[in-house]
Amino acid sequence: MIKRKWIYSLKRISRVIIDLSLFALSLIISYKLRLEHNISTETQGWFWGSQLPFVLPIVLSLRLLFLFIFQIYSRMWRYTELNEILELTKPVLCSSLILAIPRIIGFNAYNQLFAIPIGVIIIDSSLSLIFLSCARLLRKWQITRRTIKKRQKENNQKAKKRTLLIGAGQAAQELVRKVIQHPELDIEIICALDDDERKQKIKISDKVRVAGYIKNLNNAVKEYNIEQIIIAIPSLPPNQIREIIELCQVTRLETKIIPGVDQLAEGKVTIEKIRKISLEDLLGREPVDLSTPEIAAFINNKTILITGAGGSIGSELTKQLATNFSPKKIYILGRGENSIFQLSQELSYLTSIPFTPVICDIRHYKFLYRYLASISPDLIFHAAAHKHVPLMEDHPMEAFENNVIGTKNLAEIAGMLNIETFINISTDKAVNPINVLGNTKRLAELIVNTYAKQFPKTKYISVRFGNVIGSRGSVIPVWENQLKNNLPVTVTDKNAYRFFMTMSESAQLVIKASAAGKTSDIMVLDMGNEVNIDVLAKDFIRLSGYDPRQIKIRYTGLRSGEKLKEELIGYYEGTNTTKHNKILVIKPKEFPASLVLDTIDELARLSAKPDETTFKNRLIIETKKLNEAEESVPVRV
């Protein structure tokens, strides 16, 4: 330990000696350059023989003093970057200003020893910065080169994949540098493709050249014997990313991607960030901009309660709120202790914002009221729901109790406690519903609008959207398990279509829509074009590293309660655009509140009986009656 301290001290002393030597060299060169012209031999002799020996120790001491004041020696030379170089300007500039004071106040440089000529000071400052920067960068280059050689020696026999980069911009150049610095990686970058005319034939590094346009990918793969492709254009719009991915799929090579700039920390490319192409990339969804004053004012310094926080949407919503905003406190409520515990663990690493787990069943009115009264949240995001279509077909009473009665409990208590805003997370299954899930979620929307009239101090909003890629209960985990166990991939119907969006996008749009909506509004998220499930399955098989021609797809037929195509707007509804991209609004209608609540009470009485089939049929009939009744009433002004 003592030996290591001595070594560190000697290294630090050596760095000081190097800097002092460079300062001395800089000053001598500055005098030489300044005194070369239009000065008599006698005057030059005075500067060299009298002034320079006098000011040299002063200049060195002053420059060194400011290096210590600005803690320049607390940084290691081997890690020198642009910001460290810029930091060197501070001590050099400050010491130069002090050295210039005698000349500024009028002392003559030709007969006063301490009055250094301004020209000398300017040249010396510039040279000092150049010399100090070069010393540090040279040391960094030396260490890096030594490290690379060591890694190369250790990994000399390791097989590397011949890799082609798509893109030759900053991200590609950073990636090439990282690969050169880490020869232990299984990547050998052979060439790059880019559509920018100016980049054609240029070198990204000594061995990597731009070999043509992206459209020539297939030819480049054959010509250079490529084994792997990396898409390195994080700033590219999603629709163009999809086009490139489709080109890559034709080659049948493993394809990876550097995430979009919105997913990169500080916009920097790291080896760890490179990942395989995902279905989210193929969806081509644009990132959502949450950096607006309206959304910040809606979320910041507010106490927020999220129900169903342990679920896919609820947990993503919680993380987005905690990482993108500054709420006062977050309460994460759910009835499943394991999922709430898991989310608590993630939040403890993600954010410093206070949060509290709450284990509670939203169907239990008394406990729910007690929790909400003690918490006094400003906003409630209601994401708790049963959402699995086939399962709910077999358990209609459970679906009703959770999705309808639970929502009714929450919405009523929110109004009674004058909570600022209540946001109900809905689904496209609620539009012209033919299954239990859709009917219960449609009733939940009607309940929220009903309480909006009863409790005008609380803003009630529903947010409606389609399927979320990768959420719990979605088709992706099912396909993953089938491929893992060498089973046929199941698809309901070749002609089935669904709306899809990514997990993060769904949470971000919920937040944005909630801030934009007015009470009783149903905010509909623009899901883009419907996606064919059969095509999605084949894309997933290919992205998982399999050949779709060798994997059997079994078509099971639509299950009970499923549609070939989903809808986002009902026949009884009309939409308006909003100022926000990807968000539509369905304006509320003058609908009798008593009709909705009486229907819910009747269904609640019926659910107490053991006849599941009768209850299911009645649920569908009563919901349809309410939708038909809504069609005939005018929009609320």
pLDDT at 272: 62
**In which element (H, E) is residue 279 found?**
helix 279-283
Residue 190: other Cβ atoms inside 10 A: 20
DSSP, collapsed to helix, strand or coil, labels residue 332 as strand
Mean pLDDT across the chain: 86
Q: How far is CA 126 from CA 26, 119, 531, in A?
A: 9, 11, 61
Give the model's pLDDT for residue 331.
Answer: 96
Q: How many helices (H) and strands (E) does the chain have?
A: 22, 21
Per-residue confidence at 261, pLDDT binned at 50, 70, 90? very low
Is 610 in contact with 549 (CB distance < 8 Å)? no
> Looking at residues 99-116, what average pLDDT do you find?
84
d(CA 484, CA 504): 26
Would you state the structure tokens that stand for residue 377, as one six-digit string?
A: 């949240």
- What is the H or E stretch that residue 130 is in? helix 118-154
Q: Which residues contact 594 (CB under 8 A, 6 or more apart)?
A: none
Q: What is the pLDDT of residue 634?
A: 63
Distance CA 249, CA 205 (A): 27
Report the alpha-carbon distance of residue 626 to residue 594 in Å, rounded.
11
- For the 161-277 domain, the top CATH level (class) is alpha beta
Residue 520 has pLDDT above 90, yes or no: no
Confidence at 408, pLDDT banded by 50, 70, 90: very high
> What are the helix (H) ranges across 400-532?
406-416, 436-454, 475-484, 503-516
Percent of the chain with pLDDT over 70: 91
pLDDT digits (tens, 9 = 90+) for 367-380: 999 999 999 999 99
Tokens found for residue 615: 């209850």
Residue 10 pLDDT > 90: no
Q: Is residue 194 classed exposed, middle or buried when 0-12, 13-18 and 19+ CB atoms within 10 A define those classes?
A: buried
Strand arrangement of the beta sheet that strand 575-577 belongs to: 355-359, 329-334, 303-307, 379-382, 421-427, 459-465, 522-525, 583-586, 575-577
**Rounded Cα gap, residues 127 and 120, in angstroms:** 10
Q: Is the pLDDT of residue 8 over 80?
A: no
Helix (H, G, I), strand (E, B) or coil at 152: helix
- 157 class by beta-carbon count within 10 Å (0-12 exposed, 13-18 middle, 19+ buried): exposed
Examine the pLDDT at 106 and tell me if it is beyond 80.
yes
pLDDT at 346: 93
* Calpha distance 145→152 (Å, rounded): 10
Domains 161-277 and 293-631 share a fold: yes
- Confidence (pLDDT) at 325: 92
Quick one: pLDDT at residue 483?
Answer: 86
Segment 480-507, tens digit of pLDDT:
888 888 889 999 899 998 888 888 888 8
Of the pLDDT bands very low, low, confident and very high (cuts 50, 70, 90), residue 263 is: very low
pTM of the full predicted structure? 0.71
> Is the pLDDT reported for residue 180 higher than 50?
yes
Q: What number is the average pLDDT over the span 343-360?
A: 93
Torsion of CA 156, 161, 165, 169, to 10 degrees: -20
In this structure, of 88-97, 284-293, 399-408, 449-458, the range with the lowest mean pLDDT score is 284-293
Torsion, Cα 225 228 231 232, to 10 degrees, reads: -80
Would the pLDDT of 152 be above 90? Answer: no
Q: How confident is the model at residue 267 (pLDDT cuts 50, 70, 90)?
A: very low
- The packing angle between helices 533-543 and 475-484, to 10°, is 50
Quickly count: other Cβ atoms within 10 Å of residue 495's Cβ. 11
Q: Give pLDDT tens digits for 65-82.
A: 999 998 888 887 877 888
Q: Options 1.10.10.60, 3.40.50.300, 3.40.50.720, 3.20.10.10; which CATH number does 293-631 get?
A: 3.40.50.720
Span 464-476, average pLDDT: 79
Residue 260, pLDDT above cutoff 60: no
pLDDT score of 281 more than 80: no
Q: Residue ranges of the domains in the chain? A: 2-153, 161-277, 293-631
Span 204-221, average pLDDT: 90
The pLDDT value given to residue 155: 62
Paired residues of 583 in beta bridges: 525
pLDDT band at 262 (very low <50, low <70, confident <90, very high): very low
46: buried, middle or exposed (CB in 10 Å: 19+, 13-18, 0-12)?
Answer: middle
